[in-house]
Structures are given as structure tokens and as C-alpha cells.
Amino acid sequence: MKKLNKLSIIGYGAGDAANNLAFTTATMFLLVYYTDVAGISAAAAGTLLLAVRIFDAFADVFAGRIVDRSYSKRFGKFRPFIMFGSIPLLLLSVATFSVPQLGESGSLLYAYVTYAALGLAYSLVNIPYGSLAGAMTQDPGDRAKLGSARMIGALLVGSSLGIFVAPLIKPGAAGLQATFTTLTLVFVVIGAGLYFFTALTAKERVHRAVPNVTFKQSMDTLKGNKPLLMLCLSSFFFLTGYLALTSVQLYYLRDVLGRLDLYPVLSIIQLVLTFVLSAFMPRMVRGAGKKRVYIVSSLISAAGGAIVFFTPASQVWIGFSGLVISVTGVLAVSIVVWALEADTVEYGEWKTGVRTEGITYALFSFTRKTGQAVGGALAAYALALGGYKSGAAQTAEAVHGIQVAAGALPAVMTLLAVLVMAKYKLTDTMHARILADITARRESGDAPKTAGAAVGPVTTTIN
């Protein structure tokens, strides 16, 4: 198979930039929007984030099954969802950040409904988008490039939010509702353009023996895919820690270190690190393998979390350095994890003879969304237990609660992710052998022609 051209790689990265106009805006600012603008208590907001993000996780599985059952001769399996689901997704982001003053119960109900609708719309776009990478190429280097491209797209959005929006979120600041409304409306226009650029440039090229996958075939693929299940569990722990950090990063800089002005600095550092890591990631993957890169990067992130937790609030630069170290590890993991997920698609095809990118990515996203739900909720509960008060000077207990969410939780959860990943068996060498088996089977005509057909003999052994 030919190497991907640069336009396809850039186009794929544009899709995650579009995704994160809704996703990163929510993960960075939704908690502080609910507590400081909509007037929802930290405890109620934490329960909301937990409940809705768990709903989102099940929405991913629903979306995965719809994707596996769908196929368009003109646009393929994945691009129609990106083309036709993008506008509703972006408009629901506007609605989510437009909570009306309907009293405590009314505003909370509105927040539940709009955020749940946003999550469902996001699943119906993001699951096809994430699945598309495995259908574009089977080359490990190109998959690393796609992972780098989507991380660059995401971080361009995240860094812009950190540089231009985060400094506006000051205690008691007026006009924040108008700021969020304007921001999300602008994102509708930008996001629509990015999504359609992706749909026009990032096309499927991997052979597919069974275009429409049955429910039984999806389940057969999942239950025998041990590497996928282990990757899912590790990602659950990692995302729990990461979302705890992301949810309170602004609180940590503003209310613990007293340096909200450092948020744009951190965003610029993240952007630079992303470009640096993206340039070297394919080489690191070839030299050390994806599994080792994942583990080492996770340990770096855990070390940064420990620094954040143990550093006194008066030691601004040490605490800030801990954030930078933690973010460095997170960025590296976030680049390589998508290539690991794509490898598990081939493992499932090797076991069953059927490619099921949709349900494979959906299960992976399901566990990641569950981790995000738990992480965001734990962060909000840590604020509530510490006695966080919007617009007020924070007590020592509140400061400690923020440090737990920004440092201790990410460090502990990331170490648990490493323990799981240490037992991961689908190395790059094994993946190459599996690809050779799949190619040989396809050339010999052993690939199944109908649903439920038997798979031909294989030569590679993997647990």
C-alpha cells in the first residue's frame, strides 16, 4: 500500500481540530462555566459530569454499531457521519454554554439535557472520525503520523483557548456568558469548514472483505480481542487522571498559585511540545516501540502530578514546572495511543476475518469516556469537599482539594495505567506478523465472503 500523502494527513488532523472546538472547550471550561456563570454548585456539577459522561460512553457503543452497519458506495463507511453530523454537533455546543436562569432546578435540568445531546452528537461524529485512521493505512509510520496530526489539531485548539480565553475567566468577572456565546457561535463556522476539509481529503484505502458488519460479528471481534480490552482498561485509568487535571487546571493556576497569567504560557508550551513530539514520535515508535513509548511517557506524567501535589502554593515555579512535566507525558501518550488502538483492529480481523473499526473504536472510546466521567466528577468532588467558593478567596482546605485533583489523582491513576500496560502483548513485532498473515490469507482467498464464514489458518501465536 502506498504511503499517505501530506494532504491526507493534514486533512485528518483538521478533523480533530474541529472535534476539539466542542470537546476541549467543554473539558477545559464547562465545570468553571457551570460553577461561576450558570450558578450550579460544584457538587451538583460533579454529579452532572459523571452522569452525562457515562451516558456519552454508552452513546459511543451505539454509534459504533451504527457505523459498522453503514456503508456508502460514494463516500465510504465513515465520511458521511462527519459530513452530516458536524453542524448539529457544533450548534449543540452553543446550547450547552447558554444555560438560562430558570432557577436552580430548571437551570440544572437544562444543563443535563443539552450536555447529554452534545455528547450523543459528538459520538456520532467522533467514532467514525477515530475509526477512519485504521481504514486509511496499515503502515505503522503513517499511523504514527496520523496520531501526531490529530494531536496537533487538538492542541492548536486547546492552546488557542488557553491563550485567548482562559485569562478572561477571573473570579467574579462580568460578561462571561456573552464571551462563551460568541466563542461557540464562531466555532460553528470554523468547525464546519474543518470537518468538510477532512471529509474531502481523508479517504479510506484499506481493503474491506465485509462492508456491513453484523452484531454477532462485532461481538465476536470484541470478545476475542484481549489487546483491545487491556488497552481500554489502561486508557480508563489514564483518562481518569488526565480529566481530573484538565478540569481543575485553571483553578490550580488561578486559586492555588495565584498566577492565572501563566495559563497562556502553559498553552504555548503545550503547543511547542506538541510540534516537537509529533516530529520525533514516528522515530521513537520505530526505535522503542509504541508500548514502551506509552509506558515511559505515562511515568513522566505521573512524576509531574506528584510535583504538583507536594509543592506548596508559595513555590509557584516548582508547581508550574510540575504541570509542564505532567503535560509532556500526557501529550506523548495521547499521540501514540491512537496508533495502538488502530493495531487492535488488525488483531480483531486476524482472529475473525472481519474488520470492525467502528465497534473497536467505540469500545475504546467507551472506556475513555468512562474515565473522563470519573475523572471530571472526582475533580469536582475534590473542589466541593475542600469547600471551594466561586468568586471568593480560597481556604487552605480548598487549596488542598484543588491540589489533590490536579496532582494526586493524575499521578495515582497514571501509575495504574502503567501497571496494566506492562502486560500488553501486542508489540510492533507481533503486529507486523499479524499483518503478514492477513495479507497472505487475503491473497490465498481465505478471507470470509459472507457473514459468519470460517477464517483460514494462521501462523502467528499471540495471547
Give the C-alpha distances (Å, rounded to integers) separating 257 from 42, 308, 328: 20, 10, 20
Average pLDDT of the residues in 13-17: 92
Q: Which residue has the cell 473504536?
A: 361
What is residue 329's predicted lDDT score, i.e. its pLDDT? 93
pLDDT, the chain, mean = 83
Q: Where are the beta strands (DSSP E) in 249-404?
A: none
Name the residue among 406, 397, 346, 420 with its Cα closest to residue 376: 406
Task: Name the pLDDT band for 18 (thresholds 50, 70, 90).
Answer: very high
DSSP 159-175: HHIIIIIGGG--TT-S-
How does pLDDT run across 402-415, given as a tens digit for each residue? Answer: 999 999 999 999 99
How does pLDDT run across 383-404, given as a tens digit for each residue? Answer: 888 888 776 677 888 888 899 9
Residue 219: CB atoms within 10 A of its CB come to 12
More confident site: 274 or 129: 129
Given a cut of 60, whether residue 293 has pLDDT beyond it is yes
Given a cut of 90, whether residue 246 has pLDDT beyond it is no
Q: How far apart are CA 162 and CA 266, in angstroms?
A: 8
Percent of the chain with pLDDT over 70: 89
Burial tier of 172 (Cβ tally within 10 Å: 0-12, 13-18, 19+)? exposed
The amino acid occupying position 289 is G
250, containing H or E segment: helix 226-251
Least confident of 44-48, 203-207, 351-355: 203-207
Q: How far apart are CA 69 and CA 356, in angstroms?
A: 10
CATH tag, 6-444: 1.20.1250.20
Grid cell, residue 461, equals 501465536
Residue 423: CB atoms within 10 A of its CB come to 10
Least confident of 68-77, 202-211, 347-356: 202-211
Residue 110: CB atoms within 10 A of its CB come to 18
Contact 414, 435 (CB under 8 A): no
Given a cut of 90, whether residue 431 has pLDDT beyond it is no
Percent of the chain with pLDDT over 90: 28
What is residue 302's predicted lDDT score, i.e. its pLDDT? 95
Least confident of 254-268, 287-301, 334-348: 334-348
Contacts of 211 (CB under 8 A, 6+ apart): 71, 77
What is residue 450's predicted lDDT score, i.e. its pLDDT? 39
Q: What are the structural domain ranges in the chain?
A: 6-444
> pTM for this structure?
0.69
